[in-house]
């Protein structure tokens, strides 16, 4: 996993003051990161269009033009008069070297957006929008310098934004790159060093970006064992019993030694899942909410869920039930909640009285997760999305591996099953949420069928093929 920062301003300042590195040196290395990417992926002589803005982000682009000049067919466009001291200096250097500075925009093998970097807090003007429209219409491979123009300082998407294939962020990973609404504009994220190692550049952080390499599966390496050593997951089946069955199948697939569906009446379910009208005595974790409806009586829920000491996953309908939400106050219990944005908005209203639309939740995802954690630090919150946010005890983890294949009913039920399986096997709440989230997203990416065709059962099948990295 990688550290994540709200801003790199103080990190750059440390380079200036502690390491005696100048702004000029950092700029050379920022451009070198982009140059090396281009050199590794495109043949010499390929055409490169670089569009640079008025400030230091534009200066990074100008330096890139100088570094590639002579080896690549570089065309530099500076549509506005440069303003920053470094931008003026870098433009003078580029002109002295004979870099081809043009006024027209041309489709090229590589297109680099260096108009505005991180920290843009105002709407871009009509002229910039027109430039972005032209750049987006080109077919070349698109690279954003630091952050795509049109993505604001907090990651919010403006009416027009550069649609990058890759974004080369400078120095460290930034939160603004991981807001759901901007994911498609940002593309793949690569971090460039700025003249010192990442270890030296970065400081302390309680926020992290998860990677595929962080997946650690509940592998069985000892032969002399029995099913009781791998936990017993109890999954509540409600009015829409299919959701509970999916979660139960997922829990069993992910290693739970035993999995029981809790419901009043026997239904048709896979033979490897058990059925009980109560929570079995040897249960080690429970999951409730998937398709729950009003199926269970209040007294039943009070006895077997609210007053239980067992680790619990609260999902879907459980997040609308005041009786079950009382569990959030239980500080000596592993509690995981897994809302999607609409469920989180309803949950937040019930807990605080504040009303937010789903759009507002999405635009303020980091803020809202942290606000929840301020009140319920012991609860593991997993806020679903293209970038899933997972937080407990002031530490926040971002899973950026979500994909459109998961946008189908039942995917969340699979996730709940994966989580309760790990809880049953003895994982902590935060570790269960992290590993289950990674397993879900990686399994979905591994699905080889059409992007629209994946079913919950397909995800469960892919889970069996996962491997530790």
How much is the average pLDDT of 149-156? 90
Amino acid 294: pLDDT: 92
pLDDT of residue 122 exceeding 80: no
Write the DSSP string, 187-247.
-EEEEE--SS-HHHH----SEEE--GGG--------SS--GGGG-EEEEE--SSHHHHHHH
Structural domain contains residue 356:
yes
Write the DSSP string, 266-306.
-----TTSEEESS--TT--EEEE-TT-TT-S-HHHHIIIII
> Which single residue is written with the structure tokens 């050593």?
229
**Alpha-helical segments (H) within 317-390:** 322-325, 341-352, 358-363, 365-375
How much is the average pLDDT of 180-190? 95
Residues of the chain with pLDDT > 70, as a percent, come to 99
Note whether 435 and 353 are same-domain residues: yes
Amino acid 165: pLDDT: 98
Note whether 190 and 221 are same-domain residues: no
pTM for the whole structure: 0.94
Structural domain contains residue 469:
no
92-115: pLDDT as tens digits: 999 999 999 999 999 999 999 999
Say which residue, 119 or 395, is predicted with more confidence: 395
Domain final residue, candidates 176, 204, 232:
204
Structural domain contains residue 49:
yes
Domain final residue, candidates 204, 231, 262:
204
Amino acid 271: pLDDT: 85
277-334: pLDDT as tens digits: 999 999 999 999 999 999 999 999 999 999 999 999 999 999 999 999 999 999 999 9
How much is the average pLDDT of 222-227? 73
With b for 16 or more beta-carbon neighbours within 10 A and e for fewer, the 67-96 pattern comes to: bbbeebbbbbbbbeebebebbebbbeebee
Note whether 221 and 192 are same-domain residues: no
Any bridge partners for residue 391, and if so which?
A: 381, 396
Amino acid 354: pLDDT: 97
pLDDT of residue 401 exceeding 90: yes
pLDDT of residue 193 exceeding 70: yes
**Cα Rg, the chain, nearest whole Å:** 25
pLDDT of residue 121 exceeding 80: no
pLDDT of residue 224 exceeding 70: no
pLDDT band, very low/low/confident/very high, at 153 (cuts 50, 70, 90): confident
* Mean model confidence pLDDT for the chain: 94
Structural domain contains residue 67:
yes
How much is the average pLDDT of 229-253? 95
Amino acid 99: pLDDT: 94
Note whether 162 and 255 are same-domain residues: no
Note whether 429 and 410 are same-domain residues: yes
pLDDT band, very low/low/confident/very high, at 222 (cuts 50, 70, 90): confident
Note whether 180 and 226 are same-domain residues: no
Note whether 267 and 412 are same-domain residues: yes
The kind and range of the H/E element at 435 are helix 429-446
- CA gap 430, 13 in Å, rounded: 34
Note whether 139 and 264 are same-domain residues: no
Amino acid 36: pLDDT: 97
427-467: pLDDT as tens digits: 999 999 999 999 999 999 999 999 999 999 999 999 999 98
Domain final residue, candidates 204, 231, 248:
204
Structural domain contains residue 335:
yes
Note whether 457 and 370 are same-domain residues: yes
* Pairing, β 388-392 against β 380-383: antiparallel
* Residue-range definition of the domain harbouring residue 394: 213-463
Report helix angle 85-97 to 56-68, nearest 10. Answer: 20
**Total number of domains constituting the chain:** 2
How much is the average pLDDT of 136-140? 97
Structural domain contains residue 123:
yes
Amino acid 331: pLDDT: 96
Structural domain contains residue 468:
no
Structural domain contains residue 250:
yes
Q: DSSP character for 336?
A: E
């Amino acid at each position: 996993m990688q550290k994540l920062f709200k801003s790199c301003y103080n990190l750059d300042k440390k380079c200036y003051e502690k390491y005696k590195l100048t702004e000029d040196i950092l700029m050379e290395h920022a451009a070198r990161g982009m140059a090396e990417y281009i050199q590794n992926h495109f043949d010499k002589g390929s055409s490169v269009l670089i569009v640079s803005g008025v400030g230091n982000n534009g200066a990074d682009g100008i330096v890139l033009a100088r570094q590639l000049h002579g080896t690549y067919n570089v065309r530099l466009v500076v549509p506005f008069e440069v303003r920053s001291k470094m931008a003026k200096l870098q433009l003078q250097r580029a002109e002295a070297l004979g870099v081809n500075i043009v006024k027209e925009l041309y489709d090229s093998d590589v297109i680099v957006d260096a108009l505005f970097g991180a920290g843009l807090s105002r709407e871009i003007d009509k002229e910039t929008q027109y430039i972005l429209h032209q750049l987006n219409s080109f077919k070349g491979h698109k690279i954003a310098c630091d952050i795509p123009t049109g993505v604001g300082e907090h990651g919010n998407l403006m009416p027009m934004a550069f649609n990058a294939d890759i974004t080369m962020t400078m120095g460290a990973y930034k939160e603004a790159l991981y807001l759901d609404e901007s994911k498609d504009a940002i593309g793949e994220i690569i971090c460039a060093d700025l003249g010192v190692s990442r270890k030296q550049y970065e400081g302390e952080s309680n926020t992290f970006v998860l990677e595929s390499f962080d997946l650690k599966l509940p592998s069985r390496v000892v032969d002399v064992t029995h099913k009781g050593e791998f936990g017993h997951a109890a999954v509540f089946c409600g009015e829409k019993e299919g959701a509970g069955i999916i979660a139960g199948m997922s829990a069993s697939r992910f290693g739970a030694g035993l999995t029981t569906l809790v419901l009043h009446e026997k239904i048709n379910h896979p033979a490897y899942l058990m059925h009980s009208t109560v929570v079995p005595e040897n249960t080690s974790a429970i999951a409730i909410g998937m398709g729950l409806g009003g199926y269970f009586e209040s007294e039943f829920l009070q006895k077997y869920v609210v007053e239980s000491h067992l680790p619990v996953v609260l999902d879907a309908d459980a997040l609308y039930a005041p009786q079950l939400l009382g569990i959030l106050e239980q500080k000596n219990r592993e509690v995981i909640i897994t809302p999607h944005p609409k469920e989180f908005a309803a949950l937040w209203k019930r807990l605080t009285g504040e009303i937010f639309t789903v759009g507002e939740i999405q635009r303020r995802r980091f803020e809202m997760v942290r606000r929840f954690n301020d009140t319920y630090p012991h609860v593991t919150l997993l806020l679903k999305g293209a970038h899933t946010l997972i937080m407990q005890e002031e530490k926040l983890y971002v899973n950026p591996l979500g994909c459109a294949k998961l946008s189908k009913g039942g995917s969340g039920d699979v996730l709940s099953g994966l989580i309760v399986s790990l809880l049953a096997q003895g994982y902590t709440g935060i570790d269960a949420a992290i590993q289950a989230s990674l397993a879900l997203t990686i399994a979905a990416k591994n699905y080889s069928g059409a992007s629209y065709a994946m079913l919950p059962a397909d995800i469960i099948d892919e889970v069996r093929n996962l491997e530790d990295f």
